[in-house]
C-alpha cells in the first residue's frame, strides 16, 4: 500500500522540477529546517508568480501529523493539475489570475518519513524530549489555547512551550511575513469533515457564517465529484476544544481558517481511496482559492449589516438590511437553503438586487429556510463577507398545526451486543449505532412522546432529525447504511435488552437510509416521512408515544474494528443540550367542522324591476341581462379570532332551465351594501369571482359548486371580522350578440334546492397570547440566568428563548434556541460571559402562534433588564 505514495525527497524533487519547468507558475523556497535537518519548503502557485505577494492568498498546510499523508499527496496532485490544465481550464486561470496559493505540503517531514519507513501510525515530530521519549504534536504547539503538559509520551503532547519546534516556527514566520494570506486550510485525516476555527467560546462569531459557507461550498464541489458529503462542525458543544492548533493561530491573525479532515483512514488504499480523495479535493481547493480576494485582510468589502426578516408569512418572507457606503456601485446577492450550514452557489442564488429589501415568495408552509447575503462591487466583481446567516420558519397554513417533540431521556439510548449494562446507556450523552469489535452490533432506541397531539390529528408531514457527532473518533468506512424504523408498539419489550431491541417489529422504515458516504459530522440528518409513513406515525397517537429503532451495519470488513456512528442525544454531562437534541417535527391538520348557511334574502334584478325571494339569471325578451343577488348573515359562525376558515363554497341547484347552450353563468362576490337597482347592479364593484363559470350544458348535472379562492377567503374572513353580511351576484354571459328569453331559475323553497354557503373551519386561535414581562438576567455560578413572568392566559402554552449575538431576534427561529416550555427561567449553559448578545423570549399558544419578542441586550459585566 505504501509504495505508491511519494517520499518527502520525491515530493521536493517534483515541486522543484515544476518550478524549473514553469517559473511563471511555481516557486519553491525553504522556510526552515527540522530537528533532523530536512528542509521545510513552501510552494507558491499563481499566474505571474513573481507578483504573488501582491495578490490575496490561500495558505495550505499538509501532513502536520506524520501519519496523515493526504496533505502531501493532495499538494502534489493539485500542483500537477495546475501544470496540466492551466492552458485551457478557465477555472484554474481565473483562480490564479486574481489570487495565489501558498502550500507547505508537509509541515512535519521528520515525522512523515518516520511514519513511512518505521511506524505507520506515528503522529508527532521527532524532537527528543527531556525524558528520552520522542516527539511533539505540532498541532498543539501554537500559542492560542496552548495547554501545558508534563507527559511527553502522550500522542498530543504540545511541547515545553508554544513555538518550541522548528516546524511551527517556520509556519509562524511564513504567515507573519505574508499579510496577503486571507484563508488558511490545514489538511488532516480522517473523518470527511471540516472544522472551522473558533475562539474558544461556544458562541458564533461574526465570521462563523463565512467559514461555514466556505466549507459548504468546498463540500458541494466534493459531492459533485464523488457523491461524498462532508460535515461542518465549529467546536460547539459537546466537542472538546483543541488547544494550541495552527488553525486557531491563523484565525487569531484575522485569517478565516479551517481544518479539513479527509477520508476514513490515515493511510488509505492508494488506488481505491487516495486517488479519489485527491480528485474530489482539487475542485474544492480551487473554489477556496477563488474566494481569497473576497477576504483580503484589511481590504474587504463591508458585509451587509442588520440582515433581518421584517415579515414572515405562510408562503413568503421579506428580508431587509442596511445600506452600504457607495451603494450606487454595489448590489446584493441573496441565497436560500433548506438546511443549516449550506453552500451559496449559483443554483441557490435566489435574488440579485440593488435595493435594501427582498421578498421571497412561493415558499412552503411550516418549513425552515436559511438565508445568506453578501454585497458585490459592480466594477471589480469583488464580493463582501457574508452577513450572519438568517434563519426563519414559515407559518403554518390555514388548516395546519405544528408540534416539535423531543425524546424521553429515560427511554432513549443505545444497546450494544457485548455491553454488560445497557440500561446505563439511556438518557446519557450519545447514541452509538453500527458495529465494532468492542461493542458488537449496536442499536439506538428513540422514544418520542405524543401526548399533546389530538387523537383526531391527520399528519401531513413529519421528519425525525438527529445530530451526528465525532465521526473522526468512531471511524466510518465506505460501506453500509443507517436506517430508522418506526416500530410496532406491541413488539416493544425491555428497551434496555439487546435481544428485545433486535427483535422489535418495524411497522415501516422512515424516509431513505443514509449511506456511509453521506454520513457527516456536524450537519443535522433528517429522515422525511412519506404519506404512508405519516399514516403509520398517526396510528401511534393512540399509544401516546412513538418508538424508533436506528440500526447500522452489522458486520466488519477484514482488518477493521469499527463501523459505528455517534449521535448526540442532547442530555447528560457531555451532551450538547437542547440545540443538539434529536426531535420529531410534525405538521398536522384535523377534520374541519362544517356549517351550512342559507340566504337572508334573494332578489332577481331585471331592467323592468326587482323581484324579491327569487333567483333567476339569463336574458329577458328584449335581450337584456337578468341578474340575481343573495346575501348571508355570518353571525352564527364562531368568533373569527378563534377559528380558521379552511374552505368555503356556494352550492346552487337549477330548478328550471329555459336557456340556450351558449349561455354561461358567473358567480361574483359583491359589496353586501350594494343597492338592488338595475343600474346600480350594472355598475357594481366586484370583490372577486367565485369558482369557474358554468354553461347551460353543465346544468344537467344539477348541483353546481362555486369554490372560493384564497383572496375570496380573505375577504370572507374580513367580513366576518367586521361583522358584515356577505353578498353574491349571479350574472349571465353569451358569445352571441343578442340572446332573448333564456332564463335559469336557481331557487326553491325545497331545502334540497335552496342556495347554500358552506363554510368549513377549524377551531384555531389566530392571534398570539400576550408577551412575557420583567425579563432580566443575572450571573449564577459562571452562567447567564434569564428570568421573566409569563402571561396569565388560558391559551398560553410556553415560551421560546432565543440567543443571537449579532442582531435582535424578531423570529423565534433566528438564533440558538436555549429553552422551550412553560417555565419562567432558564440558563444559557454555554454562553460566554464576555460576548455581547441579544436574548429574545417569545410566547406561543397551541397552534403555535408566536408573540412579538421581548428582547434583552446582554452587556458583559453589567446587570440587565428587558
Average the pLDDT over 162-170 and give the result. Answer: 98
Average the pLDDT over 495-513 and give the result. Answer: 97
Report whether pLDDT(299) > 60: yes
Structure confidence at residue 658 (pLDDT): 86
Q: Residue 246: what are its φ and ψ, rounded to 5°?
A: -65, -35
Compute the chain's Rg from CA coordinates: 34
| Extended strands (E) in 387-456 | 390-393, 401-405, 413-416, 430-436, 440-449
Average the pLDDT over 629-653 and give the result. Answer: 94
Which strand (E) or helix (H) includes residue 857? strand 854-858
Four-CA torsion 732, 737, 742, 743, nearest 10 degrees: 20
CB 817 within 8 A of CB 579: yes
| Helix axes 90-98 and 275-291, enclosed angle (nearest 10) | 50
Structure confidence at residue 560 (pLDDT): 84
Write the CB contacts of 13 (distance below 8 Å, at least 6 apart in sequence): none
Residue 597: strand pairing partners: 757
pLDDT in tens, 250-287: 999 999 999 999 988 877 776 678 898 999 999 999 99
Average the pLDDT over 838-856 and give the result. Answer: 97
Q: pLDDT-derived band of residue 142, with 50, 70 and 90 as boundaries?
A: very high
Q: How distant, in Å, are the alpha carbons of 118, 143, 232, 248, 849 from that of 176?
A: 35, 14, 27, 14, 53
| Helix axes 70-85 and 90-98, enclosed angle (nearest 10) | 110
Q: How distant, in Å, are the alpha carbons of 174, 362, 700 from that of 321?
A: 39, 21, 58
Query: Residue 108 and residue 822: Cα distance in Å, rounded?
Result: 55
Write the CB contacts of 503 (distance below 8 Å, at least 6 apart in sequence): 491, 493
- What pTM was estimated for this model as a whole? 0.93
Q: How distant, in Å, are the alpha carbons of 520, 726, 751 from that of 613?
A: 70, 17, 14
The grid coordinates of residue 196 equal 472551522
Structure confidence at residue 304 (pLDDT): 96
Structure confidence at residue 766 (pLDDT): 93
pLDDT in tens, 70-126: 999 999 999 999 999 999 999 999 999 999 999 999 999 999 999 999 999 999 999
pLDDT in tens, 759-778: 999 999 999 999 999 999 99
Report whether pLDDT(603) > 90: yes
**Mean pLDDT, rounded, of the chain:** 93
Order across the sheet with 864-865: list the strands: 825-828, 783-789, 773-780, 864-865
pLDDT in tens, 440-491: 999 999 999 999 999 999 999 999 999 998 776 667 888 899 999 999 999 9
Average the pLDDT over 580-597 and give the result. Answer: 96
Which strand (E) or helix (H) includes residue 225? helix 208-226
pLDDT in tens, 222-254: 999 999 999 999 876 666 778 899 999 999 999
Structure confidence at residue 410 (pLDDT): 95
Q: pLDDT-derived band of residue 578, with 50, 70 and 90 as boundaries?
A: confident
DSSP code of residue 230: P
| Extended strands (E) in 521-624 | 525-528, 545-551, 562-568, 583-590, 593-597, 601-606, 609-612, 616-619
Structure confidence at residue 866 (pLDDT): 46
Four-CA torsion 781, 782, 786, 787, nearest 10 degrees: 20
Structure confidence at residue 176 (pLDDT): 98
Provide, rounded to the nearest whole percent, the portion of the chain with pLDDT above 70: 97
Structure confidence at residue 328 (pLDDT): 85
Q: How many angstroms separate the most distant Cα atoms in the chain?
A: 117
Signed CA dihedral, 95, 101, 106, 108: sign only? negative
Which strand (E) or helix (H) includes residue 350? strand 349-353
Structure confidence at residue 473 (pLDDT): 67
| Exposure of 694 in the CB half-sphere (CA atoms within 13 A) | 24
Structure confidence at residue 520 (pLDDT): 86
Amino acid at each position: 500500500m505504501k509504495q505508491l505514495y511519494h517520499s518527502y525527497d520525491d515530493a521536493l524533487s517534483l515541486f522543484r522540477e515544476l518550478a524549473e519547468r514553469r517559473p511563471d507558475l511555481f516557486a519553491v523556497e525553504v522556510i526552515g529546517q527540522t530537528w533532523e535537518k530536512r528542509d521545510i519548503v513552501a510552494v507558491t502557485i499563481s499566474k505571474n508568480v513573481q507578483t504573488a505577494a501582491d495578490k490575496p492568498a490561500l495558505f495550505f498546510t499538509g501532513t502536520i501529523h506524520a501519519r496523515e499523508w493526504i496533505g502531501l499527496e493532495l499538494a502534489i496532485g493539485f500542483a500537477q493539475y495546475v501544470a496540466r490544465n492551466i492552458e485551457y481550464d478557465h477555472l484554474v486561470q481565473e483562480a490564479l489570475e486574481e489570487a495565489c496559493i501558498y502550500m507547505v505540503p508537509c509541515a512535519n517531514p521528520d515525522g512523515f518519513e518516520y511514519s513511512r519507513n518505521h511506524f505507520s501510525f506515528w503522529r508527532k515530530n521527532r524532537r527528543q524530549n527531556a525524558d528520552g521519549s520522542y516527539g511533539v504534536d505540532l498541532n498543539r504547539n501554537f500559542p492560542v489555547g496552548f495547554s501545558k503538559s508534563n507527559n511527553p509520551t502522550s500522542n498530543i503532547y504540545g511541547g515545553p512551550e508554544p513555538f518550541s519546534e522548528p516546524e511551527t516556527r517556520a509556519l509562524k514566520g511564513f504567515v507573519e511575513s505574508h499579510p496577503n494570506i486571507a484563508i488558511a486550510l490545514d489538511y488532516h485525516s480522517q473523518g470527511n469533515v471540516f472544522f472551522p476555527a473558533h475562539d474558544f467560546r461556544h458562541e458564533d462569531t461574526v465570521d462563523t457564517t463565512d467559514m461555514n459557507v466556505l466549507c459548504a461550498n468546498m463540500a458541494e464541489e466534493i459531492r459533485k465529484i464523488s457523491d461524498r458529503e462532508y460535515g461542518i462542525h465549529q467546536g460547539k458543544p459537546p466537542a472538546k476544544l483543541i488547544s494550541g492548533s495552527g488553525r486557531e493561530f491563523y484565525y487569531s491573525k484575522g485569517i478565516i481558517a479551517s481544518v479539513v479532515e479527509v477520508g476514513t483512514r490515515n493511510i488509505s488504499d492508494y488506488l481505491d481511496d487516495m486517488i479519489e480523495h485527491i480528485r474530489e479535493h482539487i475542485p474544492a481547493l480551487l473554489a477556496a482559492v477563488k474566494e481569497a480576494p473576497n477576504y483580503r485582510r484589511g481590504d474587504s468589502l463591508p458585509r451587509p449589516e442588520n440582515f433581518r426578516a421584517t415579515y414572515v408569512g405562510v408562503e413568503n418572507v421579506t428580508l431587509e438590511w442596511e445600506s452600504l457606503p457607495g451603494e450606487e456601485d454595489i448590489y446584493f446577492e441573496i441565497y436560500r437553503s433548506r438546511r443549516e450550514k449550506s453552500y451559496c452557489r449559483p443554483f441557490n442564488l435566489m435574488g440579485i438586487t440593488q435595493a435594501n429589501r427582498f421578498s421571497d415568495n412561493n415558499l412552503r408552509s411550516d418549513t425552515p429556510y436559511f438565508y445568506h447575503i453578501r454585497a458585490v462591487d459592480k466594477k471589480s466583481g469583488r464580493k463582501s463577507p457574508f452577513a450572519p446567516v438568517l434563519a426563519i420558519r414559515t407559518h403554518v397554513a390555514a388548516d395546519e398545526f405544528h408540534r416539535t417533540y423531543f425524546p424521553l431521556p429515560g427511554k432513549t439510548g443505545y444497546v450494544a451486543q457485548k455491553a454488560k449494562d445497557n440500561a446505563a446507556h439511556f438518557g446519557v450523552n450519545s447514541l452509538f449505532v453500527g458495529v465494532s469489535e468492542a461493542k458488537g452490533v449496536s442499536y439506538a432506541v428513540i422514544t418520542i412522546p405524543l401526548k399533546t397531539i389530538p387523537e383526531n390529528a391527520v399528519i401531513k408531514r413529519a421528519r425525525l432529525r438527529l445530530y451526528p457527532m465525532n465521526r473522526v473518533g468512531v471511524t466510518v468506512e465506505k460501506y453500509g447504511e443507517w436506517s430508522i424504523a418506526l416500530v410496532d408498539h406491541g413488539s416493544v419489550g425491555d428497551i434496555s435488552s439487546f435481544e428485545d431491541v433486535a427483535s422489535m417489529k418495524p411497522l415501516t422504515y422512515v424516509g431513505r437510509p443514509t449511506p456511509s458516504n453521506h454520513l457527516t459530522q456536524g450537519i443535522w440528518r433528517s429522515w422525511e416521512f412519506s404519506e404512508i409513513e405519516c399514516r403509520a406515525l398517526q396510528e401511534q397517537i393512540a399509544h401516546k408515544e412513538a418508538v424508533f429503532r436506528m440500526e447500522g451495519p452489522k458486520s466488519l470488513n477484514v482488518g477493521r474494528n469499527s463501523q459505528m456512528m455517534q449521535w448526540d442525544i442532547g442530555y447528560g454531562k457531555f451532551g450538547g443540550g437542547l440545540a443538539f437534541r434529536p426531535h420529531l417535527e410534525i405538521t398536522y391538520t384535523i377534520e374541519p367542522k362544517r356549517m351550512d348557511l342559507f340566504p337572508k334574502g334573494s332578489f332577481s334584478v331585471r331592467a323592468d324591476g326587482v323581484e324579491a325571494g327569487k333567483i333567476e339569471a339569463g336574458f329577458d325578451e328584449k335581450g337584456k341581462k337578468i341578474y340575481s343577488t343573495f346575501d348571508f348573515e355570518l353571525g352564527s359562525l364562531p368568533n373569527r379570532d378563534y377559528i380558521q376558515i379552511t374552505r368555503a363554497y356556494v352550492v346552487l341547484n337549477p330548478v328550471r332551465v329555459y336557456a340556450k347552450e351558449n349561455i354561461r353563468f358567473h358567480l361574483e362576490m359583491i359589496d353586501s351594501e350594494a343597492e338592488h337597482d338595475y343600474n346600480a347592479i350594472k355598475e357594481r364593484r366586484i370583490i372577486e369571482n367565485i369558482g369557474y363559470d358554468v354553461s347551460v350544458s353543465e346544468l344537467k348535472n344539477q348541483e353546481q359548486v362555486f369554490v372560493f379562492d384564497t383572496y375570496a377567503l380573505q375577504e370572507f374572513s374580513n367580513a366576518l371580522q367586521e361583522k358584515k353580511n356577505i353578498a353574491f351576484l349571479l350574472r349571465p354571459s353569451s358569445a352571441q350578440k343578442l340572446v332573448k328569453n333564456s332564463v335559469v331559475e336557481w331557487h326553491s323553497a325545497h331545502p334540497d334546492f335552496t342556495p347554500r354557503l358552506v363554510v368549513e373551519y377549524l377551531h384555531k386561535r389566530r392571534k398570539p397570547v400576550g408577551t412575557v414581562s420583567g425579563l432580566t438576567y443575572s450571573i449564577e455560578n459562571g452562567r447567564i440566568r434569564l428570568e421573566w413572568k409569563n402571561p396569565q392566559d388560558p391559551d398560553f402554552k410556553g415560551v421560546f428563548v432565543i440567543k443571537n449575538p449579532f442582531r435582535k431576534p424578531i423570529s423565534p427561529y433566528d438564533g440558538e434556541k436555549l429553552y422551550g416550555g412553560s417555565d419562567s427561567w432558564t440558563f444559557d449553559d454555554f454562553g460566554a460571559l464576555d460576548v455581547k448578545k441579544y436574548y429574545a423570549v417569545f410566547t406561543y399558544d397551541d397552534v403555535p402562534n408566536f408573540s412579538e419578542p421581548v428582547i434583552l441586550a446582554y452587556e458583559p459585566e453589567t446587570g440587565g433588564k428587558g
